Amino acid sequence: MRRYKSDKQLHILKITADGIVSVANIPNTLQAMQEVVGGYIEAVYIGMGVNVICNEEGTLLRLPYNEKAVNVCSGFSDFHTRLFGTIFFVGAASDRFRSLDDMQIKELLKYLEVVR
């Protein structure tokens, strides 16, 4: 299993509101994370060392509902919330974010297969 060790980059899985899924590397900065979601970030732990990062003001900004992301989160854990706009999954560490490893990406993609 490959782990991405760089503290300068985060290996993420991104899902846009229109359902486009991609694996990407982004700088490990608040600004880069805000650019992905289009505003202030909110992190929600969904289990197995994974956080989902979304726009904190998604509802207020009337961003489109991200059904695919919600379905993946629901399949991955006991997740009961709504997500709006583009989101991404990132690894969770005790005091910081970290890259997803290959196994976490594989598990998340498995739930995408179920919801297609």
pLDDT band at 95 (very low <50, low <70, confident <90, very high): confident
Mean of per-residue pLDDT scores for the chain: 88
Q: Give the three-state DSSP class for 114.
A: helix
Task: Indicate whether this model's pTM tops 0.75.
Answer: yes
